[in-house]
Amino acid sequence: MNGWSEKPNFIVVEGPVGVGKTSLVQRLANHFGSDVLLEGAEENPFLQRFYQNPREAALPAQLFFLFQRSRQWNDLSQGDMFRQHLIADFMLEKDRLFAQINLDPDELQLYEQVYDRLTLDAPPPELVVYLQAPVDVLMKRIKQRARPVERKIETDYLQRLCDAYADFFHHYDRSPLLIVNAAEINPLQREQDFQLLLEHICDGGAERRRYLNLSGFSL
């Protein structure tokens, strides 16, 4: 797809922990009248243990997410997911990104075998909105929302996660990509920023990669 004059049928909002992707998905869905697909991190019984002791709980936490996400996409694939507009707060490729930074080599090999056997084949989004923010901003937001499961998140882990996201999207070319500086542009709390984001979502133009920022912070 080279451009559109209306909203894309299938949008994914992605970014590291604390950047506000799920809240933005919900606001966009309310505005567009779209269905939502949320990853449901709170359903993972191993997640809090992972943040407390990453080495002990990384593999079960990662496998739970893998099975959860594959089930969600498979349920969609059995129907016609494009008969209605859909906005998601995760993409399947993200699962491998987390596995690569959290698992040791033997665990990653086992994970890859399971991943391959699931034969996951999610369709590419018509647009990916990638929310960026520096680690200090993410830590501040994580503390403000005060979710018990996230209390043990460390700065070093967030930095590695941000670096992995930046590297992933630097090479990403399956879908048009809108990179948003979420440190300065706040579409959740400032109406003018939300309207600016909507303009970029609904008028893709010919560019496959675009930046929406105020200060030049980008990949």
Structural domains for the chain: 10-43+84-101+125-212 (3.40.50.300)
pLDDT tens track for 126-139: 999 999 999 999 99
Q: Look at 22-36, 54-68, 142-156, 168-182 and tell me which has the smallest mean pLDDT.
A: 142-156
What is the pLDDT confidence band of residue 3, given thresholds at 50, 70 and 90? very low
Distance CA 213, CA 128 (A): 16
Q: What is the mean pLDDT of residues 96-111?
A: 94
Distance CA 83, CA 85 (A): 7
Distance CA 86, CA 50 (A): 30
The dihedrals phi and psi of 135, each to the nearest 5 degrees, come to: -60, -40
Query: Could you give the C-alpha distances from 17 to 41, 138, 160, 175, 196, in angstroms and in order?
Result: 11, 7, 11, 22, 23
Q: Given the DSSP bridges, would you call strands 127-132 and 86-88 parallel, antiparallel or unpaired?
A: unpaired
Give just the sign of the alpha carbon dihedral 155, 158, 162, 168.
Answer: positive
For 144, residues 6+ apart whose C-beta sits below 8 A from its C-beta are none
Give just the sign of the alpha carbon dihedral 116, 118, 121, 125.
Answer: negative
